[in-house]
C-alpha cells in the first residue's frame, strides 16, 4: 500500500467514511475528520475512542473502554456494557455496520471471532453471536482483530495480526491481505481499514502513525 496519505496521524486507531464523503478517524485526541487533501478537523474531542462507524444519517457510532457511544449533531447518548449490548464477555475493539445497516459487527482482539448483533429501532443490540471465524498464528487464540469495513458485496475486511482478513457472508475467511510493505516491521499490526479515494476504489489502512492505501477492484458499502 502506498503512498502514505497522512503522516503523524496521532496514534490513529479506526477509520470510517461518512455520507459526506469524508474520512473519520479515532486518535489520541478524540474523533477527527479528514478533508480530501489530508487536513483534519476535530469532530469530537476528549473521548477515548477505539473504533468508529458512520450511519447513513451521519450518526457516529464508536467504541470506548467503557462501552458503546453514539453521537450526532443533536445529542450524545452513552450506553454502558449492559445485557442489551452483550459486550460483557468481550473486549470490544473494532465495529462496522453491515451494508444494509441492520447488523453491527464487533471484533474481539483476544479471540478468533467477530461477533454479529442485530440493530434495534431504539439503538440497542440483540441476538449477539460469534459469526466470522478469523485465522490466527499457529497455536494462538488471539487474532488481534481491530478495525473493520464492508464492501458492496457484503464482504467484511478485518484488521488483524496476520494482515487484513476478508470474510464472506457465511463467516469464512476467503483472503488475507498482507500488511503494508513500507510499514516498519516493528510498528505493530494493522489497526484500522476503510474504503475511500477517487471513486471509492482504494482500501486505506492504519499502521501505528501512518495511513496507507491500496487500489482494489471492490467497491465499499455506501455510508
How many whole angstroms separate alpha carbon 96 and alpha carbon 13? 14
Query: Any idea which residue has 442489551 for its cell?
Result: 84
Q: Establish whether the linkage from the previous residue to 37 is cis, with ω within 30° of 0.
A: no
pTM recorded for the entire structure: 0.73
Q: Evaluate the CA torsion angle 107, 160, 27, 150 in order and state its sign.
A: negative
Q: Mean per-residue pLDDT for 65-69? A: 64
Q: pLDDT tens digits for 119-144?
A: 777 666 678 889 999 999 888 889 99
Q: pLDDT tens digits for 178-191?
A: 887 666 666 677 88
Q: Which of 180, 183, 105 is nearest to 146 (CA)?
A: 105
Q: What confidence score (pLDDT) does residue 109 get?
A: 87
Q: What is the DSSP secondary structure assignment for residue 27, as one 8-state letter?
A: E
Q: What confidence score (pLDDT) does residue 15 get?
A: 75
Q: Lay out the sheet containing 6-7: strands in order across.
A: 6-7, 210-215, 202-207, 192-196
pLDDT-wise least confident of 91-95, 144-148, 209-213: 91-95
Contact assessment for residue 71 and residue 47, using Cβ atoms and an 8 Å cutoff: no
Amino acid at each position: 500500500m502506498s503512498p502514505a496519505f497522512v503522516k503523524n496521524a496521532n496514534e490513529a486507531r479506526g477509520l470510517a467514511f461518512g455520507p459526506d464523503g469524508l474520512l473519520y478517524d479515532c486518535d489520541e485526541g478524540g474523533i477527527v475528520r479528514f478533508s480530501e487533501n489530508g487536513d483534519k478537523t476535530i469532530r469530537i474531542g476528549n473521548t477515548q475512542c477505539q473504533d468508529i462507524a458512520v450511519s447513513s444519517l451521519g450518526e457516529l457510532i464508536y467504541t470506548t473502554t467503557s462501552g458503546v457511544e453514539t453521537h450526532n449533531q443533536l445529542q450524545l447518548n452513552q450506553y454502558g456494557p449492559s445485557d442489551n449490548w452483550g459486550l460483557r464477555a468481550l473486549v470490544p475493539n473494532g465495529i462496522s455496520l453491515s451494508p444494509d445497516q441492520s447488523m453491527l459487527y464487533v471484533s474481539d482482539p483476544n479471540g478468533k471471532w467477530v461477533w454479529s448483533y442485530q440493530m434495534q429501532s431504539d439503538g440497542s443490540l440483540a441476538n449477539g453471536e460469534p459469526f466470522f471465524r478469523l485465522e490466527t498464528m499457529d497455536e494462538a487464540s488471539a487474532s488481534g482483530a481491530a478495525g473493520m469495513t464492508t464492501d458492496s458485496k457484503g464482504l467484511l475486511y478485518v484488521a488483524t495480526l496476520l494482515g487484513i482478513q476478508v470474510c464472506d457472508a457465511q463467516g469464512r475467511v476467503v483472503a488475507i491481505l498482507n500488511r503494508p510493505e513500507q510499514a516498519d516491521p516493528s510498528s505493530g499490526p494493522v489497526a484500522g481499514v476503510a474504503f475511500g479515494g477517487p471513486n471509492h476504489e482504494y482500501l486505506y489502512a492504519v499502521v501505528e502513525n501512518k495511513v496507507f492505501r491500496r487500489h482494489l477492484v471492490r467497491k465499499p458499502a455506501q455510508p
